[in-house]
């Protein structure tokens, strides 16, 4: 080791004998890479894409259907990794996201970017080979929309970020439908509308009782830029806009009495929840710890899940 400085020697020794080449930074385990793909968001993608594929009027081989949904999920995961790569600075500020793999130092930003890009290319190619190239192109557009249009462009710029960006989360059932049919139709557009108009009241209800996080992260959430009163009006307005699309879906060939009954009940409950949020002021909400807002947020989760379950059940029992 002639010519090497003591510092180099000690560094090499440390690297060879220490179990961690970067002191203070824990190495990632496999679960950290899985967390990078946002598995909870993926579960929504998997479920809605599966329903879109299942209720389509074209039969798909079960293994091809399984692979298609899997590749759509991988595409969703790629979007999640790209989102975490770009939003690492925001995630480090927010309490809810501080423990994510990048802000906690377990995964480097470049690794997340590489994983996101590789998985995106992989998912699109494999979906094209497994299903069809229209569905693959649709998946590529969805990943682009979430990673670039929402994450890079809209999220830090406008309080309407989740309204437009919510489209990315609404595309999966259309991609599932496209896997089976190779195209778009009124049924898949209405499934898109169902998620698209559901997203704003869902997220804004959450933002009402998670306000401090978005404020500290300087994300222009509606609650920060326009205040809670305006957010409450928007939540109620979106529940009203959402209902006709949800019920219209029940009048298409994928609908039926079971879906219609479920949809009417869920929309009445959701509009009532929106109305309750509208009528409250901050004093009341703070007094009971945002109990109503929390309840409506939970209801919004059931609202979407049960609509898609109703579509599955209706398809199984026979449509109109």
**Which residue lies nearer to another protein by CB, 6 or 59?**
59
Say how far apart CA 40 and CA 75 lie, in whole Å.
14
Six token digits for residue 38: 């946002």
Q: Which residues contact 79 (CB under 8 A, 6 or more apart)?
A: 116, 120, 142, 143, 146, 147, 168
Write out the binding residues for another protein, residues 66-125 only, by CB under 8 A. 67, 70
Q: Least Å distance between CB 18 and another protein?
A: 5
Say how far apart CA 189 and CA 254 lie, in whole Å.
12
If we measure between CA atoms, which residue out of 41, 97, 307 comes closest to residue 197? Answer: 307
Say how far apart CA 82 and CA 151 lie, in whole Å.
9
Q: Least Å distance between CB 141 and another protein?
A: 23
Q: Least Å distance between CB 229 and another protein?
A: 48
Q: Does 130 bind another protein (CB under 8 A)?
A: yes
Write out the binding residues for another protein, residues 200-239 only, by CB under 8 A. none
Return the residue matching tokens 């029992």.
317
Q: Does 288 bind another protein (CB under 8 A)?
A: no
Write out the binding residues for another protein, residues 18-57 only, by CB under 8 A. 18-20, 26-31, 33-34
Q: Residue count at the site for another protein (CB under 8 A)?
A: 20
CB atoms within 10 A of CB 6: 7
**Which residue lies nearer to another protein by CB, 30 or 283?**
30
Q: Does 129 bind another protein (CB under 8 A)?
A: yes
Q: Least Å distance between CB 20 and another protein?
A: 6
- Which of 41, 64, 93, 251 touches another protein by CB under 8 A? 64
Task: Give the Cα-Cα-Cα angle 147, 150, 153 (nearest 5 degrees).
Answer: 95
**Which residue lies nearer to another protein by CB, 64 or 167?**
64
Q: Least Å distance between CB 122 and another protein?
A: 9
Q: Does 13 bind another protein (CB under 8 A)?
A: no
Provide the residue count of the chain: 320
If we measure between CA atoms, which residue out of 277, 284, 273, 209 comes closest to residue 242? Answer: 273
If we measure between CA atoms, which residue out of 166, 142, 128 comes closest to residue 82? Answer: 142
Q: Does 63 bind another protein (CB under 8 A)?
A: yes
Q: Least Å distance between CB 52 and another protein?
A: 20
- Which of 8, 10, 61, 99 touches another protein by CB under 8 A? 61
Say how far apart CA 279 and CA 274 lie, in whole Å.
9
Return the residue matching tokens 């793999």.
101
- Binding residues for another protein, per CB under 8 A? 17-20, 26-31, 33-34, 61, 63-64, 67, 70, 126, 129-130
């Amino acid at each position: 080791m002639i010519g090497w400085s003591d510092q180099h020697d000690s560094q090499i020794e440390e690297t060879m004998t220490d179990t961690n080449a970067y002191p203070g930074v824990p190495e990632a385990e496999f679960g950290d890479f899985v967390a990078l793909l946002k598995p909870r968001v993926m579960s929504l993608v998997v479920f809605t894409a599966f329903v879109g594929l299942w209720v389509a009027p074209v039969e798909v081989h079960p293994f091809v259907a399984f692979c298609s949904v899997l590749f759509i999920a991988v595409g969703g995961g790629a979007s999640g990794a790209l989102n975490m790569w770009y939003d690492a600075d925001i995630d480090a500020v927010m309490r809810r996201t501080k423990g994510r793999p990048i802000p906690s130092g377990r995964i480097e930003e470049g690794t997340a970017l590489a994983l996101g890009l590789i998985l995106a290319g992989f998912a699109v190619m494999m979906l094209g080979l497994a299903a069809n190239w229209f569905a693959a192109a649709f998946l590529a557009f969805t990943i682009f929309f979430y990673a670039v249009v929402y994450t890079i462009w809209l999220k830090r710029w406008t309080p309407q970020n989740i309204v437009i960006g919510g489209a990315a989360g609404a595309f999966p059932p259309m991609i599932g439908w496209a896997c089976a049919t190779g195209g778009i139709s009124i049924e898949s557009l209405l499934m898109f509308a169902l998620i698209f108009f559901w997203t704003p009241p869902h997220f804004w209800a959450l933002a009402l009782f998670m306000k401090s996080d978005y404020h500290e992260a300087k994300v222009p959430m509606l609650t920060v830029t326009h205040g809670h009163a305006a957010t409450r009006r928007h939540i109620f307005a979106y529940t009203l806009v959402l209902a006709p699309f949800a019920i219209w879906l029940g009048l298409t060939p994928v609908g039926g009495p079971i879906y219609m009954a479920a949809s009417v009940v869920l929309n009445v409950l959701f509009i009532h929840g929106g109305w309750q949020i509208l009528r409250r002021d901050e004093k009341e909400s703070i007094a009971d710890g945002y109990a109503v807002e929390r309840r409506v947020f939970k209801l919004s989760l059931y609202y979407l899940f049960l609509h898609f379950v109703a579509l599955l059940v209706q398809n199984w029992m026979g449509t109109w």
